[in-house]
Amino acid sequence: MTDAGSGRRVLVTGADGFLGRGLLEALAREPGIETVVATDVRAVPSERRHSGVTYLVQDVRDAALAQTLVTHRIDTVVHLASIVTPDPRLGRELAYDVDVRGTRNVLEACVAADVTQIVVSSSGAAYGYHADNPAWLRESDALRGNEAFAYSHHKRLVEEMLAEYRARHPRLLQTVLRIGTILGERVDNQITALFERPRLLAVRGSDSPFVFAWDEDVAGAILHALRTRRGGCFNLAGDGALTLPEIAARLGKPLLALPAALLRAGLAVGKALRLTRYGPEQLGFLRYRPVLLNTALKEDFGYMPTKTSAQAFEAFVAARAAQGKPVTAR
């Protein structure tokens, strides 16, 4: 699509999401990038725009996406658009439509426009939350994203689709990053909300290890994929893991470990009474978190995370304190 030796022409979907904002900032100063087109379902406010970036309002499900790729002579797509936490009022259909059908539309557009590389933000959640998961998951382990968790299930379905496209359209190089729990100076989501509570909730008998990826490392790994044109599927997380007891100790907060049966019953009652949107299916999310081994990321992909899981967590805690919103016990 572009002349040999010319700069990369990159389109980013979900560009105004948390990951997209950090990536655009990095792309805006990356040498060798000739064009950056940022698409999102909503207009990006002027205060968040970068000079030299073309901003478009376009849904990933839009059939005109292929024409957008052709118009801007895009050779590389970074696909970040996804719904992490579906709105319970809308059900799962919208999330499925965006996550799965939207990804299929992006892939079809890439093939039609002769795009040469797509970088996809997948998740460790694609492996699923299972009692028999290996202690450390490798890229060769089965993807068993649970149907009970929309995000986990959709990431599995997307990865199965990606595998089909790798077989049918080998000219489209794929770099798939299975990302751990993302932390950063400005991250705010359902995981960080767990750390903000006066006490941390755990399932008795389960340490629930977390592997963390610093947000700048996610952007760094994507840039590395663009620089090297390296394809493959890679777990993306810092070295090591932190268990919930270790996290509670670092925050100076008590850990409330309850029996699984009690938690299951409490979640069922809470959801029935509309006190929480989380039901008993969330028990697996608390107990059996996928723990990602990053050996292939470092040795095969060639990217070394700048922060371990522990360092990412400490940096997150320090950033919250500096912002006047400490998560540690007062």
Kindly list the catalytic residues.
Answer: 151
Q: Which of 118, 120, 181 is nearest to 154 (CA)?
A: 120
Q: How far apart are CA 261 and CA 55, in angstroms?
A: 50
User: What's the CA gap between 254 and 70, in Å, rounded?
Assistant: 56
How far apart are the C-alpha atoms of 52 and 29, rounded to whole Å?
10
Placement of tokens 């895009």 in the chain: 74
Phi, psi angle pair for 59, to nearest 5°: -80, 145
Best CA proximity match to 192, nearest among 98, 83, 92, 326: 326
Q: Are the CB atoms for 76 and 11 separated by under 8 Å?
A: yes
Alpha helices in 169-232 (DSSP H): 190-196, 215-228
Spatial strand order of the sheet with 33-40 comes to: 53-57, 33-40, 8-13, 76-79, 117-123, 173-179, 232-236
CA distances in angstroms from 215 to 52, 60, 181, 279, 311, listed in the order given:
23, 23, 10, 29, 12
Strand 76-79 versus strand 8-13 pairing type = parallel
